[in-house]
Structure 1
């Protein structure tokens, strides 16, 4: 399907790997000009080279820690200079790194989770809004998580931050509706991300086997999907790309589960 992205401009925050990179690849393959933002130069350089090979000839990777508003503003100023002060697509795929049960978490852990998981998104949307409003059409897609609807005892801070993302995104969809800027959320389920594969290795499971990974998730967390396997980042990317595209012309304020099937709504 032609998503209508030829020569559009897109920023993927957290696009150096995982589901962010999978989303950026879909945009590049449809002809979008893509910039990825992250904290690791090596990963960004690899991602930008990959995106250029896939159809985004001027793809670029920009360093910024989204917790730092100043770094975010500098990255978006560079994007504005590159693309004439306009931006069609903003995707926020960064999540908090904090893990631990309620009893284990310190105040600093909670603040870190909110800063990484929610305030980073706020900083990026704030910096991007003038560029999005200047464009002929614009979309925002933010990553939440299925744990906001199906709790895990080792993820209370992570989940709280992602719930903030969902709530703020819903509010933004209302705020930006008069500008016809569509704002949606994607909530991935058990997807074989680098973090999840790392956890699998720590419990003696092959994280590259999506069936073994789902069995381990069921055993340790009681969170099986209807499908008998974990998802792949490449299965999330096309959903994000559609929400970010001109083909999505009337969906806003939605929270889209990409989870292999579950009982929550």
Structure 2
């Protein structure tokens, strides 16, 4: 299927690792010109090399602190100078976790800075470039925990719920411009960072944090949130649906909040 991404300009925030990198790589494979935004110079350099190998010879990694409004503006100024327009903006940035009793006001504010306001600021900075293009798409990554609550990630979930709401609202206000806006809610996804954080915890239960089935077993045992497929997901499985929604091929899906969680009883 031709997604109509050849020569398109795509920006992926948080695109140097995990789901963001998988999305950026898929965009590159489809022929898009890709910019990824993140903080770490080493990860950005590695991501840029990977994207060029995947099919985006002019891919660029842009150092952006998504908690800093000025840094976000500067990042999109770099894209404007390089290409002058954006067809696809994919925003993947999110905060850390924590139980309610463990979070002070500063940590709540940080959660909303990264989980909500980074998306608001990225869209604001990208809009002139999206409007300058022949067609435009925005996809944000929220979380299935906005419908299936987990006490361990209360501030994360609240900030992602707000992002989902903003995304839905944007689909209405930007429809007149022909800019389609959608939200992806990933379930449990086995990324390198997920594995690194939880490998010892799962190992204590005799489970492998790199094995999607073992990961879902641990999720079910500890949080009683199984999925119908009986395994966790992979970054590439988030990338496939995200890239479709971010593509020109998607001509009629807007305002959708799409669960990609292996099947649950939440809609």
Once the 2 structures are TM-superposed, how far is the Cα of residue 67 of structure 1 from its aligned partner? 1.4
Measure, in 2, the Cα distance between the counterparts of 1:125 and 1:86: 13
Which residue is equivalent to 1:208? Answer: 210
Measure, in 1, the Cα distance between the counterparts of 2:8 and 2:15: 17
Once the 2 structures are TM-superposed, how far is the Cα of residue 207 of structure 1 from its aligned partner? 1.1
Once the 2 structures are TM-superposed, how far is the Cα of residue 200 of structure 1 from its aligned partner? 2.8
Which residue is equivalent to 1:92? Answer: 91
1:20-77 Cα offsets, whole Å, 9 max, x none, are 1111111101100000000101111111100100110100000011111111111111
Measure, in 1, the Cα distance between the counterparts of 2:105 and 2:200: 27
1:197-218 Cα offsets, whole Å, 9 max, x none, are 2343131232111111110011
Once the 2 structures are TM-superposed, how far is the Cα of residue 194 of structure 1 from its aligned partner? 3.2
Equivalent residues of 1:26, 1:237 under 8 A apart = yes
User: 1:200 is paired with a residue of what secondary structure?
Assistant: helix
* Unaligned residue ranges in structure 2 (runs of 5+): none
**Pairs within 5 Å for 1:212-251:** 212-251=214-253
1:106-155 Cα offsets, whole Å, 9 max, x none, are 11111010001111111111100000011100000000000000000111
The RMSD of aligned alpha carbons is 0.9
The answer to whether 1:140 aligns with 2:142 is: no
Once the 2 structures are TM-superposed, how far is the Cα of residue 195 of structure 1 from its aligned partner? 3.8
Structure 1 stretches of at least 4 aligned residues deviating more than 6 Å after TM superposition:
none
Measure, in 1, the Cα distance between the counterparts of 2:192 and 2:257: 23
Which deviates further from its counterpart, 227-236 or 188-197? Answer: 188-197
User: 1:172 is paired with a residue of what secondary structure?
Assistant: helix
TM-score (norm 2): 0.97
Aligned pairs, how many?
263
